[in-house]
Structure 1
């Protein structure tokens, strides 16, 4: 599957190996097996199989090395492993990610001070939490009539389950207490429930988290016409007469540049680097980089009341999981996405003589949807360059008065939820620095018309450039509070099917001509 032989021409080039790029490769391998595919990833291979989640690496030292190798070519900086460190005001990235060195905030604006990225085979899916909730109410993309079927296909590709934590001794207790506080007046689909997660449990009890390796699947890995080449920087998309015709890619090991011709180009970098590549290529729709939105995040902790320690012979699975992962879905009347899960340690100090039942400190997080504004944007120029030599992202981002009201409302709501399930730990909830969610969206947003408010059509094809597709969280056109990966993969499925349909028609036409 992997190699260093750069092709001169393929049917499809995919830029980026995260879950949406992997979804294009998977759907094409299933539906257009004769199509040749080259996937280029700027970062190294850090896990096996390529794209696997680093949490599946059993050796802590090996896992740390994989995370460090994912942190790009720039300064490493300080790492933040817990909300407690973020509360202390440290501008740091989580292990496996790296921050923008500059251009993350401007005077008079809020900016995204901890906007972060990963550079490795598998992208952020080698480091994510695996949460895959479906969008609800105004989070949904109303102009896609097939959204639910696409989401179901995304769940198949990501290996989503809801039963991996069924044995968690405090899981039902947490959900029962949350339900009593939340469920009244909600539909069955929006009541408190198990979080859908891209994870499964092996026969020996260990958890296996899905990365891009799961999305690619055996059908892609065994596809002789699919090639993945890591440490390869795509510096431009070539377009001729309104059509994408290939890419220029630089081998970061040798420095050599290659031109790879292609009938289709899929840019699936991330919500900052996908618009970066289009801008660098001179492809600059009016909405490119605009409508950038993150999810402000409020966190708190509570200690469960009236619980006893789990049995000492409970299985060791590589993760503290006594309370599992629970979900409070977003609704328009309660516009927050809630994620409630076991904390390995309290984010605030406890008294040394204060006995704590293992697993009884539960973390609560509420994510808020952003007011969508064209002025919230990532932009580029010729004067600023990033560590790869590409135009550096420059972020302009401001919370509206309504955004601030929603954050304050989330702070009140999270305290109410904490008190419902136990005794709050600490005096007040705290709001994480903007960018902490890592859920940046909107910069290559989908739309129904080329009217300057979107970058691509409903198949994710860029307006005015036939054969050029964009993928990732940036394509999502709505303001969401829920984790966006499932939605992004669903949209990638739609785009990949549209490409596969071209090959299917050509195959049918060829068969007819032979008769």
Structure 2
């Protein structure tokens, strides 16, 4: 079937993950007459567009959606699509269903590299595969120069449908938080004490709980907007810049190989933290900070069995075989503080980062996985570079990762391993005699900083506080790569909040011109 690409739009968005979807949503709400087109290199997985794969009830369809997300060279059909299979083994390059690793260039000689660096290519981006955790940043994680940050975070929570109490009836969740609070809350501010994890989920009237993907962020205002177009399997190969201003995009139809030029008054590049700087670089937009300050979150996991608990009727449903979150799941949060600079996720059963043995059939809720994330010692030298002479499987400039763990990082990781053991000891007994497992760099999938926001154009940032690229009028960037601070918490909420600010700026400019 022949597809029609628009000749011109008011706003062209590259990428359909939660941040690209946030731009489309805010523009649909504030400027419904503006023409907006979103281009996504990957395919449509299911209806509605951008749905989280765990909401696909049929196992075969869910597996198909995961394979479709795995880029130019998806895993073999026989490869497991269970997100827990091999999750906590000691493989040097973890690969998760629905994602694909960099084939090469992920480590340079004498460096740590990012062997776990992974991406997804599909409508909805990584938002079709994520765990939905949406904590607010605290302390030094916060971006002090962004006006109205708390308001932007609140809008982000609205778009993602963040809920704090979706699992209040999860078995033993209250007991887990009570024990963690007793061990960890002393001296913490009220908003930094152990709490239920804010999650991007929807609890339905019949009790079902589904994950929020980009479909939730797009929402009805975008889907019902006759001036919005979503074009899957469309690779943007260039942002066209004329006389210091964005003028449109060059798009390759992945189905036919045909190229199209789409003129635009504004362009938003909302790919991931690796492919956003890649597209800017390929387009000749190369500020000094582009690709630099690459930031991953070292992650350590551990697991315990709760001690001294008595099963109740609420534990009769085992959620491990369910495709979606169910009310028997439990997720708790140990917030980052500057004094205890780790972000803790405490997850029960299906959400646990540590899989159980095949013959282990515990009472639901009694196996608890703990994941502790560190804030990186951010360095300008940690970066993704691009090769003039080599290309990736999409025909874009090949990536070369330069990344080192500093002495401060090694000290932070060691401290996080002790911290996670202290938290675990408050809950119960380890499942076995193994020490906490620290994942290889890149495994967090929380890459940041490569198109970082700054207060001034001083060479240490790529974009302004409204996400517009310095010196290129009308060009905006979005995604985790925009975050300039060293955060340990899950970055999606912060990224969506910054996208809201950028979208509002475009909406205001469109309104002024009209």
Deviation at 1:356, TM superposition (A): 3.0
Q: What is the aligned counterpart of 1:276 among 275, 278, 286?
A: 278
TM-score, scaled relative to structure 2:
0.95
Task: Tell me the alpha carbon deviations over residues 140-159 of structure 1, each in whole angstroms, 9 at most, x when there is no partner.
Answer: 00111310010001001110
Residue 100 (structure 1) aligns with: 102
Task: Tell me the alpha carbon deviations over residues 399-439 of structure 1, each in whole angstroms, 9 at most, x when there is no partner.
Answer: 00000000000000101111101111222111011111100
* Residues 1:446 and 2:453 aligned together: yes
Q: Where do residues 217-366 of structure 1 align in structure 2 (5 Å cutoff)? A: 217-311=219-313, 314=316, 318=322, 319=325, 322=328, 324-344=330-350, 347=354, 356-366=362-372
SS of 1:235 mapped into structure 2: strand
Equivalent-residue separation in structure 2 for 1:480 and 1:141 (angstroms): 10
Equivalent-residue separation in structure 1 for 2:227 and 2:312 (angstroms): 50
| Contact 1:304–1:361, Cα closer than 8 Å, also in 2 | yes
Residue 466 (structure 1) aligns with: 473
Q: What is the aligned counterpart of 1:506 among 485, 509, 513?
A: 513
* Residues 1:44 and 2:43 aligned together: yes
Deviation at 1:27, TM superposition (A): 0.6
SS of 1:374 mapped into structure 2: coil
| Contact 2:156–2:496, Cα closer than 8 Å, also in 1 | yes
CA RMSD of superposed structures (Å):
1.9
Give the number of equivalent residue pairs.
Answer: 504
Residue 511 (structure 1) aligns with: none
* Residues 1:56 and 2:70 aligned together: no
Residue 416 (structure 1) aligns with: 422
Task: Tell me the alpha carbon deviations over residues 319-349 of structure 1, each in whole angstroms, 9 at most, x when there is no partner.
Answer: 4664510000000000000000113489476
TM-score, scaled relative to structure 1:
0.94
Q: Where do residues 1-12 of structure 1 align in structure 2 (5 Å cutoff)? A: 4-12=3-11
Deviation at 1:85, TM superposition (A): 4.8
Q: What is the aligned counterpart of 1:129 among 128, 131, 139?
A: 131
| Contact 2:42–2:234, Cα closer than 8 Å, also in 1 | yes
Equivalent-residue separation in structure 1 for 2:353 and 2:165 (angstroms): 25
Which deviates the most, 60-69 or 201-210?
201-210
Deviation at 1:501, TM superposition (A): 0.4
Residue 27 (structure 1) aligns with: 26
Residue 375 (structure 1) aligns with: 381
Residue 483 (structure 1) aligns with: 490
User: Structure 1's 106 and 201: CA in aligned 2 closer, same or farther, altered over 3 A?
Assistant: same
| Contact 1:321–1:342, Cα closer than 8 Å, also in 2 | no
Deviation at 1:84, TM superposition (A): 5.2
| Contact 2:85–2:355, Cα closer than 8 Å, also in 1 | no
Task: Tell me the alpha carbon deviations over residues 57-111 of structure 1, each in whole angstroms, 9 at most, x when there is no partner.
Answer: 1111111110010000025377684385543325231111000000011111101
Equivalent-residue separation in structure 2 for 1:196 and 1:355 (angstroms): 28
| Contact 1:321–1:359, Cα closer than 8 Å, also in 2 | no
Equivalent-residue separation in structure 1 for 2:179 and 2:315 (angstroms): 27
Which deviates the most, 72-81 or 99-108?
72-81
SS of 1:26 mapped into structure 2: helix
| Contact 1:320–1:342, Cα closer than 8 Å, also in 2 | no
Deviation at 1:164, TM superposition (A): 1.1
Deviation at 1:260, TM superposition (A): 0.4
Equivalent-residue separation in structure 1 for 2:312 and 2:250 (angstroms): 56
Residue 69 (structure 1) aligns with: 68
| Contact 2:238–2:282, Cα closer than 8 Å, also in 1 | yes
User: Structure 1's 113 and 321: CA in aligned 2 closer, same or farther, altered over 3 A?
Assistant: farther
In structure 2, stretches of 5+ residues that fail to align are none
SS of 1:384 mapped into structure 2: strand
Deviation at 1:477, TM superposition (A): 0.4
Q: Where do residues 388-427 of structure 1 align in structure 2 (5 Å cutoff)? A: 388-427=394-433
